[in-house]
Amino acid sequence: MSGQKTLVIYFSRADENYGVGVVEQGSTELLAKAIVARTGADEFKIEPVEKYPANYQAAIERATAERNSDARPEYIGDVDITNYDTIFFGYPIWWGDLPMCVYNFIEKHDWNGKTVIPFNTHEGSGNSGTYETLKDTMLGATLIGDGFNVAGSVARTDDGIKRLDDFLSSLGR
Ligand SMILES: Cc1cc2nc3c(=O)[nH]c(=O)nc-3n(C[C@H](O)[C@H](O)[C@H](O)COP(=O)(O)O)c2cc1C
């Protein structure tokens, strides 16, 4: 894949979360930064205009309301993905699905011809079928690899980073 331009796009929430306590950096962001460090890719973080509450329970309540209303929360700024061939795409599992602001990002972009490598964190649900959802929503994209998923609590350990390195090696990155 040398000579191709690579971008890492991700959504991640810091502060209080299940299984990790209060963290300054979300677990998906930690993986995204590691991918950037290893590949030299550019990065774009999907940052909701209205920040999620730091309190876990309050964040859960907002995420539930957004899901129930099929909301498309706005995010800050944007990135022109036409400049990139390969896109690592990362997110946490929320209610067995993609967070709604991630749907918003996907729907605002043209995925035709892109090579997409999904990665996600969770606390038990694996990828929860979201790679199929990406195939259905990123029209014209080719998803490669079987994706990479790891529990957020594991992503924060040496073992999690070793697993990520093995995954990148398997892709020749
Ligand atoms: C609103 C919300 C819903 C969640 N739903 C699930 C779920 O359905 N399955 C699961 O395994 N983990 C679920 N989790 C846990 C997150 O996927 C996990 O903590 C993840 O590592 C968070 O990533 P982040 O730190 O990058 O935001 C949920 C967390 C939140 C805040």
Nearest CA to ligand 1 atom 31: 60
Nearest CA to ligand 1 atom 14: 94
What integer pLDDT is reported at residue 146 of this predicted model?
A: 78
Distance 144 CA to ligand 1 centre (A): 23
The structure tokens listed for 138 are 């990123």
Task: Please determine, for residue 3, whether its predicted confidence score (pLDDT) is greater than 80.
Answer: no
Per-residue pLDDT of 57-98, as tens digits, reads: 999 999 999 999 999 999 999 999 999 999 999 999 999 999
**Domains in the chain: boundaries:** 6-170
Farthest CA pair distance, the chain = 45
- Three-class HEC string of 87-154: EEEEEECECCECCHHHHHHHHCCCCCCCEEEEEEEECCCCCCCHHHHHHHHCCCCEECCCCEEEEHHH
Q: How many CB atoms lie within 10 A of CB 1?
A: 13
Q: Is 67 exposed, middle or buried (0-12, 13-18, 19+ CB in 10 A)?
A: middle
The structure tokens listed for 90 are 């990362």
Ligand 1 pocket member 121 (CB < 6 A): yes
What integer pLDDT is reported at residue 1 of this predicted model?
A: 45
- CA–CA dist 93, 123 (Å, integer): 8
3-class SS of residue 16:
strand
Ligand 1 pocket member 18 (CB < 6 A): yes
The mean pLDDT value of the chain amounts to 96
Residue 95, CB half-sphere, CA atoms under 13 Å: how many?
Answer: 13
Place of tokens 């990123």: 138
Per-residue pLDDT of 135-165, as tens digits, reads: 999 999 999 977 899 999 999 999 999 999 9
Distance 19 CA to ligand 1 centre (A): 9
User: What is the CATH architecture assignment of 6-170?
Assistant: 3-Layer(aba) Sandwich (3.40)
